[in-house]
A = this chain, B = another copy of it.
Amino acid sequence: MPLLVMKFGGTSVADLDRIRNAARKVQREVERGYDVIVIVSAMSGKTNELVGWVEQTSPLFDAREYDAVVSSGENVTAGLMALTLQEMGVPARSWQGWQVPINTTSTHSAARLVDIPRANIDQKFAEGMKVAVVAGFQGLSPEGRITTLGRGGSDTTAVAFAAAFEAERCDIYTDVDGVYTTDPRITSKARKLPRIAFEEMLELASLGAKVLQTRSVELAMRYKVRLRVLSSFEDGDETSGTLICDEDEIMESKVVNGVASSRDEAKITLVTVEDRPGISAAIFAPLADAGVNVDMIVQNISEKDYDDHPGSVTDMTFSVPINQVERAKRAMEEARQSGQITYDELVVDTEVAKVSVVGIGMRSHAGVAARMFKALADENINIKVISTSEIKISVLIDRKYMELAVQALHDAFELEQA
C-alpha cells in the first residue's frame, strides 16, 4: 500500500473546526488508496501557554520537566485528530512519542532523532488501520523520559517518519500556500514556485523564509524525502503548493529562483587587528564558545602601516544575529583582556539587513554576481559585506534599503515570469 505522511501545523489544528478540515484532507488521501501517517502540532497558542507556565514557575527550568509539560499539547491534538477521523469512518488511532517509540538523544528541549522503529505502526496498518496519528515535536530518551525536539520539531518528525516508512511524499500543511520567489509582503510580484530543489530550499530556510525549518529540509535532502508545502485552508490536488525535491526532478531551472532577506542582522567590525597566522581562529573560537552564530566574515587586508602598529594590520568584519551582539562583544572584550587578540576598536552596526539571491542554476552560469551588484548599484545601494556559496550570493546593506533591494533583484532576475 503506498503511504503518505501529512503534517499539520498549529494554525491548521487551532480548533475543532480546523481539525475537522485537516481530517477531511486526510480522508481524501485514504480514499485515493493511501495509508497515511499524520503528524500533528499542538493547537496554536497551547504550546505558548505551557511554555509560559514553565517559565513563570522556574526561570532556569529543568528541561526534562519542561519537556514533560510542553509535549502534552501535541498529545491532545493527536487524540482529537484520531477521534475526528474515526467519526468520519476512517480507522485511525493516536500515538504519543513514547508509544511508537520515537527514540531520541537525551538533550532535552533540543533532542535529536535517533530512530523510529516501524513495528508497532506497521502491525496496525496490517490489521486494517488506515491512519496513524502521531504527536509531533516529541520523543523518548534512553532514560525513559519525554524529550522535545526544539524549534521546527514537528516538521522534522514528519520528514523522519516519511524516511522511516518510505513514504511516497511528505506533505507539510501550513498557513501559506507554498514557497515564493520572495516575501510577497515586500513585492506583489512574488510568484509561487511549483518546485524547488532541496539545496535552494535549505538556503532560503536558513535565510529566514519561515516556511520550513532548516533541520527538516536537511533531513529530507539526506533521505531524499519529497516534501510538499501547501495550505491547509485551500482545496488542492497533487499539484498544489510547492514540491521540494531533488534537482533531478526539476526540468529546467532558472539561474536564480529566489530572493531572500533578513533584517535581524548586525555587523561587527574589529578595527586594526594584528594580521598574523592564526588570528582568525583566535577571534572566532571565543565567539563559537560563547554560542554566537557568526554568519558572514570579511577580512579587509589593508597594507596601511600605522605608527603605533609596526607590523601588518587588518580590519575584521563579521555579521551576527542582532540579539547576539552583546554576547559577541563580551566574548571579544574578554579575548582582548586575556591577550588572545588585539584590536583598537569594536564597531557595531545594528542598522543592516542581509539580502540574498539563491538558485541551483547559478552553478553553471557565470555573471550572476555582476548582475546582482549592478542591480543594486543602479539603485545606489551600497554593499557593506559580500559572501557567496555555490548556489547563493548574499550582501549586507543598510536596513532601510532592504525592501528596495529585494524588489530590484526580483526584477533583475525576472522572477515574476515562470
Contact = CB atoms under 8 A, between A and B. Distances in A.
Interface in A40-81: 50, 53-54, 56-58, 61-62, 64-66, 68-69, 72-73, 75-76, 78-80
Nearest to A54: B83
Contact of A86 (B58, B69, B75): B58
A93 interface: yes
Contact of A76 (B69, B78, B99): B69
Nearest to A70: B79
Most buried by B among A54, A65, A73, A96: A65
Given A68-B78, A79-B66, A144-B99, A16 B86 contact: no
Contacts of A109: none
A68 B94 contact: yes
Given A87-B58, A99-B144, A145-B99, A69 B64 contact: no
A83 B87 CA distance: 38
Nearest to A57: B83
Contact of A16 (B56, B75, B80, B96): B56
A401 interface: no
A82 interface: yes
A233 interface: no
Interface in A170-196: none
A352 interface: no
User: Which bracket fits the contact residues of A?
Assistant: 35 or more
A80 B69 contact: yes
Given A72-B72, A98-B98, A99-B145, A79 B65 contact: yes
A208 to B, nearest CB: 32
A64 B93 contact: yes
A56 B99 CA distance: 26
A159 to B, nearest CB: 24
A19 interface: yes
Contacts of A65: 79-80, 82-83, 86, 93-94
A66 B87 CA distance: 13
Contacts of A144: 99
Interface in A13-37: 16, 19
Nearest to A73: B72
Contacts of A350: none
A80 B145 CA distance: 16
A86 B82 CA distance: 36
B79 A68 contact: yes
Nearest to A59: B87
Contact of A82 (B19, B62, B93, B99): B62
Nearest to A99: B144
A283 B57 CA distance: 58
A68 B75 contact: yes
A52 to B, nearest CB: 10
Interface string A124-142: 0000000000000000000
A84 interface: yes
B83 A76 contact: no
A83 B96 contact: no
A402 B79 CA distance: 44
23 contacts: A16-B57, A50-B76, A57-B84, A57-B87, A58-B83, A58-B86, A58-B87, A62-B86, A65-B79, A65-B80, A65-B82, A65-B93, A65-B94, A66-B79, A68-B78, A68-B82, A69-B75, A69-B76, A72-B73, A72-B75, A96-B146, A98-B98, A99-B144
